[in-house]
Amino acid sequence: MVDIVTRPELITPQWMTEALRQSGHLSRGTVRGLDHKIIGTGKMGDNARFTLQFDGERGSAPDSVVIKFPAADETARAMAGAQGAYYNEVMFYRYLADRTEMRTPAIYANEITDDRLLFTTAMEDMAPAEPGSQLVGESLEHTRVALREAAKLAVAFYGDETVGEHDFVMSQARDDGGEFAQALLQQYWSGFLARFGHSISEKCQAFGANYINHHTIFATRFKGPKTLAHGDFRSENILFDGSAVCTVDWQTTIESSPLTDLAYFMGGSVEIDDRRAWEQDLVKEYSEVLAGLGLDLGFDACWEQYREQAMHGLMITILGASFSEAAERSDAMFLVMIQRHLQHCVDLQAGGFLK
């Protein structure tokens, strides 16, 4: 176990040496020096890339690592800690990451305080892989690669009822039936519309209004075998390098339908016209990938769950924006995401699942 360090400038060569030794990546050598650069645009935490210099035998130690820290902003840090974001990700890497063939980063250090407010996670640097952008609709190539990764996760935990027993995996049906989330949605919806409604169609606003008053139905309706879903499986949480990808930011894991992550990605990370043109073919392809991995759901069942899970992105986007301070880049991201997610629900007539 290494000490928890909360700021990049406090990481020392000695700390890095100990982390790499304890993780089995460094035996006799030592980290002589290191440099860091802040990366990413996250609000709930800060990421830094560390370039390492060694003395002696370095073994399998990497040239660079990425370390995640709690947010420097005290308010953001307290909110993320209270919501369990830091704890959820640390625990996922400790207990579940090794159970799936979905590509996730290797972990060199992964510690959190008992109050769940401070943590340090040192992980594999996936450069030159780069995250996508919510502001730019994903390509068909990237979407198909993401589809295959989502299938690996869905198959790994399908039907495993112990998933929902972990306190770091959200299960609204288990916890309170979604009642608290619905209360928050009802509380913040008018403010959300005041901020973004000018660019949301009347039909989409009407769907959103109906959804926030019936979120508990969505949260508890799906009765089929569940699996572990990433929960925020979108282009900015996926590092792309050609046909190779790595999924990061495991702060919102949820027990849900095996179509949740695909529906969320298609609804929020793909341009509306492209999604309309691709989705039936891609859901068919997804069902075939599942079958190849040993889970035969068939297209009809996948399509039905896909339509229902189109609503998964609504709560995340509405509350995510409502709990964030206004800023040009993040507001543009939340706007394009809610436009896409609501239109996705309207196009697929997902409101029928709320009756």
Predicted confidence band at 243 (pLDDT cuts at 50, 70, 90)? confident
Same domain, 64 and 152: no
Question: Per residue in 250-282, pLDDT tens?
Answer: 999 999 999 999 999 999 999 999 999 999 999
Torsion of CA 313, 258, 265, 194, to 10 degrees: 0
In one-letter notation, the amino acid at residue 88 is: N
Question: Per residue in 309-321, pLDDT tens?
Answer: 999 999 999 999 9
Torsion of CA 332, 79, 182, 208, to 10 degrees: 0
**Helix count (H) and strand count (E) of the chain?**
13, 10
CATH of the domain at 283: 3.90.1200.10
Name residue 183's beta-bridge partners. Answer: none
Q: Does residue 299 form part of some domain?
A: yes
Say if residue 288's pLDDT is above 70. Answer: yes
Q: Does residue 178 form part of some domain?
A: yes
Bin 294: left if φ > 0, else alpha if -120 < ψ < 50, else beta: left
Q: Which helix (H) or strand (E) holds 36?
A: strand 30-39
Same domain, 113 and 158: no
Q: Does residue 3 form part of some domain?
A: no
Same domain, 81 and 33: yes
Q: Does residue 98 form part of some domain?
A: yes
Q: Does residue 93 form part of some domain?
A: yes
Same domain, 99 and 203: no
Residue 243: how many other CB atoms lie within 10 Å: 10
Say if residue 156's pLDDT is above 60. Answer: yes
Predicted pLDDT of residue 92: 98
Instruction: Provide the CA 178 distance to its chain's centre, in angstroms.
Output: 20
Same domain, 163 and 264: yes
Same domain, 102 and 139: no
How many structural domains is the chain composed of? 2
CA-to-CA separations, 81 to 44, 77, 164, 188, 219, in angstroms, rounded: 9, 6, 20, 21, 23
**Under 8 Å between Cβ of 278 and 270:** yes
Q: Does residue 1 form part of some domain?
A: no
pTM recorded for the entire structure: 0.94
Predicted pLDDT of residue 42: 63
Across the range 54-65, mean pLDDT stands at: 94
Q: Does residue 193 form part of some domain?
A: yes
Same domain, 51 and 74: yes
Same domain, 120 and 147: no
Predicted confidence band at 27 (pLDDT cuts at 50, 70, 90)? confident
Provide the residue range defining the domain that includes 13. Answer: 8-124
CATH of the domain at 86: 3.30.200.20
Same domain, 25 and 145: no
